[in-house]
Amino acid sequence: MPRRQGRKPRRPRQPRVRNKPAPVRKQHRKKVAVPALPPPLTLRPASNTTCDIYQAGSTPPTPDVSAVFFHLSARFQQGSESSEGDQSLRWTHVGYFESDVDLRDNYPAAPNSTLVVPTTGGTTFDIVFIELVNRGSPNAYKRVFLNREAVTWPTDQL
């Protein structure tokens, strides 16, 4: 039979031989519910300064709590962004204190409690808001949002 132009000849079909492994029986395991993990604990940053704490109504030179070690961090941009639209919650710094330190915030409209860093005669901060981190654990600490009061320039303080 003459071959047509442009077509390839067909190969005859051959049966395929597949090498399949023997089926493995799956062992059924009971599904065990994984307990929900608590959020990871964060540790309080190491202290980098001291302060005197004046509860609402107290004024220098007699602090309610004196020479408290804590960690102070400047967070002006973050504080400015979070207080957009409500300047009563404006804050400039964050302090990290042990959980047993007697601190009182002025949220929402209580009289101001203040702290002075490093101690009497230093820079004054208003305590805006306090939150307890890692509540109920041995690593509990207080995160305190602070608003720095105006300072007289020139100054060696914060």
Per-residue model confidence (pLDDT) at position 112: 80
pTM over 0.85: no
Virtual CA dihedral for 78, 80, 86, 88, nearest 10 degrees? 100
CATH topology for 49-148 is Thrombin, subunit H (2.40.10)
Cβ contacts of residue 119 below 8 Å, gap of 6+?
50, 51, 52, 66, 67
Residue spans per domain, the chain: 49-148
Tell me, what amino acid is at 87?
Q
Per-residue model confidence (pLDDT) at position 15: 66
Per-residue model confidence (pLDDT) at position 141: 93
Mean per-residue pLDDT of the chain = 78
Contact 132, 89 (CB under 8 A): no
DSSP 91-141: --EEEEEETTS-----TTTPPPPEEEESSTTSEEEEEEEEEEESTTSTT-E
pLDDT tens digits, one per residue of 60-69: 778 888 889 9
Per-residue model confidence (pLDDT) at position 61: 76
Tens-binned pLDDT, residue by residue, of the chain (158 aa): 555 566 676 777 766 666 666 666 666 666 655 555 555 667 888 888 999 988 887 777 788 888 899 999 988 877 777 767 777 778 889 999 999 998 888 777 777 888 888 866 788 888 888 899 888 888 899 999 998 888 777 776 66
CA distance linking residue 88 with residue 24, whole number of Å: 69
